[in-house]
Amino acid sequence: MNDEAKLAAVFPVLAESDLPIGELDIEVAARNSLLRSGIHTVAQLLQLTHTELVGLFPNRGLPFYSEIISRLACLAQPPKTGETSRTYTVKSLSDGILGESKVKRFNIFQVAGIWKSEEIHTRIIAELLNPNSKFHEMGTAFLQKLLDRLGLKEDLSLKESIKVETEVHTVGEGKENEKCKNRRIDMTIETRHYYLPFEVKIWAGDQESQLYDYYQYACSYAEQHGKNRPPCIYYLTPDGHAPSVWSIKSSTGDGGLDNKDFCQLSFRETVLLWLDDCMNDTDKQISADVLEIMRQLRDNIDANFLVGEDILDAVQQELSCYHIEWTECTDKYRTFTLKKEGNWEVALRIQKYYSKVKLSVICGHVEDTDDGPQISYAGNREREQIQHLLEDTFTSPRDYLKLDVDAAWDWFRQSPTASKGDFMKTFKTCVFGRLEKSVQAQLYRESCEA
């Protein structure tokens, strides 16, 4: 290929294509570099010469150049019919093939059903931030990008002393604290001068005094290890919403976090922009496998963390003022506990029902599995086993619950449905308003604040 010839001379059938650059299956960093250079369509891309295209990627010119050329060649190939031996050339192709060239990407987060897993997302982010990772050789580059975004200045030259950990216990070994014994901070970053705590919430609700206790622990740890007082606790959610009053206040009622003590971060802003920073501006070349995981992580967040678009996400956000223990979260339904008694529980399942949601009262039982005790909502239930629990959960349940059937669900005689706009009204009328006062008080976390 002549270095000074335009790409349009090689791919003439694509010369007038208005296919957006965003729809080319190329690395995010390459795509963003093209867009920043004012190249928004394939037609504009083809006006570049080989030399000009390579010049857009001074750090990784050859890999990105080769990938773009490969994608253009794929666009210029006809669909395989398997019924002809005809040999095609670029000039013989019609413009119609462009409409058949949309690429469907493989994304491990969606294929494995972990597209909204807090634990998986947190672990991958932590591994990328860890300068001592065994899985990438980027040193402190990724961590430096995040600290820059958080406005923190730090000397990262001694990377061996830096720790990035997940699921950090807030009670030291040998110490007993009934309230906090099972509590873990999702992620912490420890550098020479800082100890930074991060709480990640994708679909789970806040716990009582959670951010308050985590921040107190971080401050205590920093003081004991001669570090600066943590500037705040970082609260990472899909949309950057504020934590609940229930979480930032002390459980004893004698204190709470000020606004300056917590910082709201969002996946759609903070994490996406940080990933772009890492993929675009790193002097050191990222290995292909790490870059692919970063691309899939970014694409998953971009596609699935659309707060307010999904009715279940919107409903879950509406219920953030309640003290809710979510037990199931899928793209089809969400379930949370209303009341427990021994190994039995009564729960509410919120299920997609066309453009609305359907509310179902179901019962569950804790069963032993290879992974430890797990709640199961499947199968039939003996009426005698849960009738007492239902009567302790609802006022006058015989009026609207089916107590005369031996089924796990649905215990409503007529399951209510609601649109996104009417959900809270339906929930308060059909569910919350029918709960026993003690159950209401337990669920409504901010009733004491009124």
Domain boundaries, the chain: 7-100, 118-288, 311-449
Please state the rounded mean pLDDT for residues 115-140. 93
Q: At what angle do helices 288-304 and 272-281 cross, to 10 degrees?
A: 150
Backbone phi and psi for residue 363, each to the nearest 5 degrees, phi listed first? -120, 150
- Predicted confidence at residue 18, as pLDDT, reads 81
- Predicted confidence at residue 173, as pLDDT, reads 47
Closest C-alpha among 42, 22, 277, 268 to residue 148: 277
Higher per-residue confidence, 133 vs 67? 133
Please state the rounded mean pLDDT for residues 400-429. 86
Backbone phi and psi for residue 138, each to the nearest 5 degrees, phi listed first? -95, 0
Beta-carbon count within 10 A of 185 CB: 24
100-104, 242-246, 285-289: range with lowest mean pLDDT = 100-104
Specify which residues 262 forms β-bridges with.
Answer: 233
CA 221, 197, 233: angle at the middle one, nearest 5?
105
Higher per-residue confidence, 387 vs 194? 194
- What is the residue whose two structure tokens read 């506990």? 337
Task: Tell me the average pLDDT of the chain.
Answer: 81
Model pTM above 0.75: no
- What is the residue whose two structure tokens read 């398997």? 82
Give dist(CA 302, CA 289) in Å, integer: 20
Instruction: Say whether pLDDT at 174 is over 50.
Output: no
End-to-end CA distance of the chain: 73
Helices of type H across 4-159: 28-36, 42-45, 50-55, 61-75, 108-111, 118-129, 141-150
Give per-residue pLDDT as tens, 14-45: 877 888 887 777 777 777 778 878 888 888 88
Q: In which band, very low, low, confident or very high, does the pLDDT at 89 lie, cut at 50, 70 and 90?
A: very low
Q: In which band, very low, low, confident or very high, does the pLDDT at 449 lie, cut at 50, 70 and 90?
A: very low
CB 200 within 8 A of CB 235: no
Question: What percentage of the chain carries pLDDT values higher than 90?
Answer: 34
In the chain, the amino acid numbered 25 is D
Closest C-alpha among 203, 311, 202, 211 to residue 267: 202
- Predicted confidence at residue 23, as pLDDT, reads 76
Instruction: Say whether pLDDT at 172 is over 90.
Output: no
Helices of type H across 239-358: 245-248, 272-281, 288-304, 311-318
Instruction: Say whether pLDDT at 101 is over 70.
Output: no
Give dist(CA 440, CA 38) in Å, integer: 57
Characterize 304-320 residue by residue with b for buried, 16 or more Cβ atoms within 10 angstroms of its Cβ, and e for exposed. bbebeeebbbebbbebb
- Predicted confidence at residue 308, as pLDDT, reads 57
Q: In which band, very low, low, confident or very high, does the pLDDT at 63 lie, cut at 50, 70 and 90?
A: low
Higher per-residue confidence, 87 vs 113? 113
Instruction: Tell me the residue length of the chain.
Output: 450
Give dist(CA 3, CA 50) in Å, integer: 5
Please state the rounded mean pLDDT for residues 349-370. 87
- Predicted confidence at residue 320, as pLDDT, reads 77
Instruction: Say whether pLDDT at 66 is over 50.
Output: yes
- Predicted confidence at residue 223, as pLDDT, reads 95
Give dist(CA 67, CA 112) in Å, integer: 27
Specify which residues 49 forms β-bridges with.
Answer: 6
- Predicted confidence at residue 186, as pLDDT, reads 95
DSSP code string of 191-248:
-SS-EEEEEE-SSPPP-TTHHHHHHHHHHHHHHHTT-PPPS-EEEEESS-PPPPHHHH
Give per-residue pLDDT as tens, 180-236: 445 799 999 999 999 999 999 987 777 778 999 999 999 999 999 999 999 999 999
Q: In which band, very low, low, confident or very high, does the pLDDT at 418 lie, cut at 50, 70 and 90?
A: very high
- What is the residue whose two structure tokens read 């990627």? 57
Question: What percentage of the chain carries pLDDT values higher than 70?
Answer: 83
141-150, 365-374, 412-421: range with lowest mean pLDDT = 365-374
Instruction: Say whether pLDDT at 347 is over 90.
Output: yes
Q: In which band, very low, low, confident or very high, does the pLDDT at 102 lie, cut at 50, 70 and 90?
A: very low
- Predicted confidence at residue 104, as pLDDT, reads 42
DSSP 399: G
Give dist(CA 50, CA 186) in Å, integer: 47
Residues 6 or more apart whose CB falls under 8 angstroms from that of 196 comprise 150, 152, 188, 189, 190, 218, 230, 231, 234
Give per-residue pLDDT as tens, 249-296: 888 878 899 999 999 999 988 999 999 999 887 577 888 889 889 988
Class of domain 7-100: mainly alpha
